[in-house]
């Protein structure tokens, strides 16, 4: 085996001392060092530096218990790590879906529960088909109000309008709610007026809004109008023209609201 | 030191990383110079390691891999704090003979020996902190991380020969610092004036 020169051996001294050389090279360095006082001196200085470094290791603090806990917590928290950008997008998407579901649920609950004008029109048709469409015959709105007040959990105001005549009253149920039924003769045609304690603003089947916040619609060939007044909901169904029904509805709405204010 | 094949780390991230916490922390402490920054650096290292834990195919390479992450996190931190690490270009990674040292004094008196060791420790620490960053990292990974040459080459992403030359230069700088100190203090001269193998008193 060729002997190493100092220039060759000296750069290998650190690896030699750290046992990082392969067997052949390590043996060559060892043979050189045994004969070279310069390299022996360098190794002594290296050993002195290594001793200093070992003392520094001993003087260097190990990981604290707090750090250990933090590091273990990282393992728990990052186990299902999602990159921040994706996480924010996913959260935004989830929030949007939840929002849409909430809106859809509210809309569905409102629309599915909201009574349809059709129920009033059918009741109008069925009632007029009866031999006696009213239970209490009277042309006096005050008498009709008194009769209704004793039979209903609310006190409906009975419309009094020009060009119409009250025929009588009866009680009915629409959408499982107690409703006052008033039969009028208006412009020579029968007109049914339904009064309930519920607002009619959610009632479906209307396509226009006229004066006095009266909504108008057509259902089964009958004209329908609805409005709220005096904490009650009013729906009128008539066999006459739309203009005739609107005149009754508009006048009644104004009269009841005025009466409430007075 | 790599895991022996019959004793590879089992379990998940937490169990494995706990084994390397002390060397990681000691290295980080000496890199940053204080406990708070060291803990932040180790924590950042662990966060990065945890996120890419599945990329670690060979558990035997965990130590080198973790120190590679530590180095990356440290250099990022240096960039953020605008501290410029003294990096040595690859073409300069050539072996060069170290400066010659005078004969090492053989101090045997206990009290003098303790003083000398204390002074030497301070010199070594100062010299280590003055090293170019990649040499400093190689030395710290070896000393405080207990990494083998191969693990250091993985951690630093350089060939084994480069690790050898960096560690050689680093140790030469420490030697030089110690011998300069001994010369300044007159320790060497006095030793030279004594008989060979004599003791400093």
pLDDT at B98 over 50: no
Q: Is residue A148 part of a domain?
A: yes
Q: How far is A53 from chain B (nearest CA, A)?
A: 7
Q: Which residue has the higher pLDDT, A54 or A89?
A: A54
Which three-class secondary structure state does DSSP give residue A32?
helix
Tokens of B124: 């070594």
* Residue B60: band (very low, low, confident or very high) from pLDDT cuts 50, 70, 90: confident
Residues of chain A found within 8 Å of residue B46, distances taken between Cβ atoms: 71, 74
**Would you say residue A250 lies in a domain?**
yes
Say if residue A40 is in the same domain as residue A134.
no
Greater confidence (A232 vs B9) lies with A232
Residue A41 and residue A124 share a domain: no
Q: Are residues A127 and A222 in the same domain?
A: yes
Same domain, A255 and A127: yes
Using the Cβ of A12 and the Cβ atoms of chain B, whether some distance falls under 8 Å is answered with: yes
Across A7-11, average pLDDT: 91
Interchain contact, A48 vs B104, CB within 8 Å: yes
Provide the pLDDT for residue A71: 84
Q: Is A18 on the interface with B (CB under 8 A)?
A: yes
A232-238 vs B106-107, strand pairing mode: unpaired
User: What is the helix (H) or strand (E) element at residue A116, kind and residue range?
Assistant: none
3-state secondary structure of A50: helix
Cβ atoms within 10 Å of A45's Cβ, excluding its own: 23
List alpha helices for B52-159, DSSP H.
62-80, 110-129, 133-143, 149-156
Residue B161 CA to residue B149 CA, distance in Å, equals 9
Find the mean pLDDT for residues B156-176: 93
Question: Among A7, A15, A55, whose Cβ lies nearest the Cβ of B117?
Answer: A55
pLDDT of residue A79: 54
- Mean local confidence (pLDDT), A216-234: 89
- Indicate where chain B has its CATH 1.10.10.10 domain(s): 98-200
A61, B29: Cβ pair inside 8 Å?
A: yes
Residue A240 lies in a domain: yes
Residues of A in Cβ contact (< 8 Å) with B179: 45
Structural fold of domain B9-80: Rna Polymerase Sigma Factor; Chain: A (1.10.1740)
From CA B93, how far away is CA A74, in angstroms rounded? 38
The answer to whether position A1 is within a domain reads no
Higher pLDDT, B15 or A120: A120
Q: Which residue, among A6, A14, A17, A82, would best test binding to B if mutated, counting the most B CBs under 10 Å from its CB?
A: A14
Output the pLDDT for position A36: 92
| Per-residue confidence (pLDDT) for residue B56, from 0 to 100 | 79
- Record the tokens describing residue A198, joined without a space: 């519920």
The mean pLDDT value of chain A amounts to 86
The better pLDDT of the pair B82, A132 is held by A132
pLDDT at residue A85 in the model: 52
Nearest CB among A15, A44, A72 relative to B164 is that of A15
Cβ proximity of B61 and B2 under 8 Å? yes
**Tokens found for residue A116:** 């349809």
- Quick check: A117 pLDDT over 50? yes
Q: CATH topology for B98-200?
A: Arc Repressor Mutant, subunit A (1.10.10)
Task: Assess whether A204 and A138 both reside in one domain.
Answer: yes
CB contact under 8 Å between A15 and B167, yes or no, is yes
Q: Are residues A44 and A145 in the same domain?
A: no
Contact A62 B26 (CB under 8 A): yes
* Pair (A138, A254) in one structural domain: yes
pTM of the complete model: 0.54
Task: Give the closest residue to A193 by CA, choosing from A238, A126, A228, A130.
Answer: A238
Chain B residue whose CA is closest to A80: B51
**Pairing between β-strand A222-229 and β-strand A214-219 as defined by DSSP bridges:** antiparallel
* Shortest CA gap A15–chain B (Å): 7
CATH number, position A123:
3.30.200.100
**What is the average per-residue pLDDT within B169-197?**
72
Are A227 and A149 found together in one domain? yes
- In the sheet that holds A208-210, the strands lie side by side as A136-137, A164-174, A177-186, A189-196, A232-238, A222-229, A214-219, A208-210
Q: Give the end of a domain, one of A59, A85, A103.
A: A59
> Could you tell me how many helices (H) and strands (E) chain A has, helices first?
9, 8
Q: At what angle do helices A37-59 and B133-143 cross, to 10 degrees?
A: 70
Question: What CA–CA distance (Å, rounded) separates B156 from B65?
Answer: 10
A225's enclosing H/E stretch is strand A222-229
Asked if residue A108 belongs to a domain, the reply is no
B190 confidence band (pLDDT: 50, 70, 90):
very low
Q: How far apart are CA A104 and CA A107, in angstroms?
A: 5
Contacts of B2 by beta carbon, 8 Å cutoff, 6+ apart? B60, B61, B63, B148, B150, B151
Pairwise CA distance, residues A226 & A206, whole Å:
9
User: In whole angstroms, what separates CA B119 from the centre of its chain?
Assistant: 19
Q: Looking at the predicted structure, is the pLDDT value of residue A110 above 70? A: no
* Per-residue pLDDT tens digits for B71-93: 999 998 888 776 555 444 444 44
Residue A89 falls within a domain, yes or no? no
| Per-residue confidence band for A114, with pLDDT thresholds at 50, 70 and 90 | low
The answer, for A129 touching chain B at a CB cutoff of 8 Å, is no
For position A177, what pLDDT does the model report? 86
Question: Is residue B10 over pLDDT 60?
Answer: no
Q: Cβ–Cβ of A57/B165 closer than 8 Å?
A: no
Helix or strand or coil: residue A192? Answer: strand
Residues 50-79 of A with CB under 8 A from B: 51-53, 55-57, 59-64, 66-68, 70-72, 74-76, 78-79
State whether A60 and B103 contact (CB < 8 Å).
no
Number of A–B residue contacts, CB under 8 Å: 130
Q: State residue A143's pLDDT score.
A: 94
Least confident of A26-35, A77-86, B153-162: A77-86
Identity of the residue in A46, A62, A74 whose CB atom sits nearest the CB atom of B22: A62
Residue A99 within a domain:
no
Q: Which residues of B102-135 are buried (b: 16+ CB within 10 A; e: fewer)?
A: bbbbebeeeeeeeebeebbbebbbebbeebbbbb
Residues 6+ apart with CB under 8 A from A177: A196, A197, A198
In the numeric block, which tokens belong to residue A203? 């009632």
CATH 1.10.1740.10 in chain B, residues? 9-80
The whole domain housing A53 covers 6-59
- Name every chain A residue with its beta carbon within 8 A of the beta carbon of B39: 63-64, 66-67, 70
- Judged against a pLDDT cut of 80, whether residue B138 lies above it is answered with yes
Q: Which residues of B touch A70 (CB under 8 A)?
A: 39, 43
When scoring A60, A61, A82 by the number of chain B Cβ atoms within 10 A, the one with the most, hence best to mutate, is: A60
The answer to whether residue A26 scores a pLDDT higher than 80 is yes
CA distance B124 to B141: 16
CB-based contact A49 B124, cutoff 8 Å: yes
Do B131 and B170 form a contact (C-beta atoms < 8 A)?
Answer: yes
Q: Give the number of other Cβ atoms within 10 Å of residue A29's Cβ.
A: 23
Decide if pLDDT at A262 tops 90: no
Q: Which of residues B184 and A215 earns the better pLDDT score?
A: A215
Q: For position B169, what pLDDT does the model report?
A: 94
What is the domain count for chain A?
Answer: 2
Quote the CA–CA distance of A155 and A256 in Å, as a whole number: 12
A14 and A134 in a single domain? The answer is no
The Cβ of residue A92 has, within 10 Å, a number of other Cβ atoms equal to: 10
What pLDDT is recorded for position A21?
93
């Amino acid at each position: 085996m060729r002997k190493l020169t100092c220039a060759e051996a000296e750069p290998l001294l650190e690896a030699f001392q750290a046992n990082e050389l392969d067997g052949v090279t390590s043996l060559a360095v060892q043979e050189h060092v045994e004969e070279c006082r310069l390299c022996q001196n360098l190794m002594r200085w290296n050993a002195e530096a290594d001793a200093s470094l070992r003392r520094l290791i001993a003087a260097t603090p190990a990981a604290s218990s707090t750090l250990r806990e933090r590091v273990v917590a990282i393992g728990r928290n990052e186990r299902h790590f999602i990159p921040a950008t994706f996480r924010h997008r996913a959260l935004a998407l989830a929030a949007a879906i939840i929002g849409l579901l909430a809106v859809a649920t509210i809309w569905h609950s409102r629309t599915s529960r909201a009574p349809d004008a059709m129920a009033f029109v059918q009741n109008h048709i069925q009632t007029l088909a009866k031999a006696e469409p009213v239970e209490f015959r009277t042309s006096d709105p005050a008498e009709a109000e008194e009769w209704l007040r004793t039979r209903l959990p609310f006190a409906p105001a009975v419309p009094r309008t020009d060009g119409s005549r009250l025929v009588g009253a009866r009680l009915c149920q629409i959408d499982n709610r107690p409703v006052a039924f008033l039969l009028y003769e208006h412009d020579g045609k029968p007109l049914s007026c339904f009064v309930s304690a519920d607002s009619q603003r959610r009632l479906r089947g209307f396509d226009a809004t006229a004066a006095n916040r009266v909504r108008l619609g057509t259902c089964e060939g009958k004209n329908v109008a609805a409005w709220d007044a005096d904490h009650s909901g009013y729906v009128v169904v008539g066999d006459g023209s739309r203009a005739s029904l609107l005149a009754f509805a508009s006048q009644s709405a104004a009269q009841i609201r005025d009466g409430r204010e007075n | 030191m790599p895991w022996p094949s019959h004793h590879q780390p089992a379990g998940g991230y937490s169990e494995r990383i706990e084994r390397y916490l002390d060397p990681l922390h000691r290295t980080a402490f000496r890199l940053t110079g204080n406990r708070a920054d060291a803990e932040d650096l180790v924590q950042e290292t662990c966060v990065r390691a945890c996120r890419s834990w599945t990329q670690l195919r060979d558990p035997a390479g965990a130590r080198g891999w973790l120190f590679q992450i530590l180095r990356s996190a440290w250099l990022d931190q240096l960039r953020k704090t605008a501290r410029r690490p003294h990096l040595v270009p690859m073409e300069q990674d050539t072996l060069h003979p170290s400066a010659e040292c005078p004969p090492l004094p053989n101090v045997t008196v206990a009290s003098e020996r303790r003083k000398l060791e204390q002074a030497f420790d301070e010199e070594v620490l100062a010299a280590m902190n003055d090293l170019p960053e990649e040499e400093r990292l190689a030395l710290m990974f070896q000393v405080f991380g207990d990494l083998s040459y191969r693990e250091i080459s993985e951690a630093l992403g350089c060939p084994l020969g480069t690790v050898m030359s960096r560690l050689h230069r680093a140790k030469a700088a420490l030697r030089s610092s110690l011998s300069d100190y001994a010369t300044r203090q007159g320790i060497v001269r006095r030793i030279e004036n004594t008989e060979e193998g004599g003791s400093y008193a």
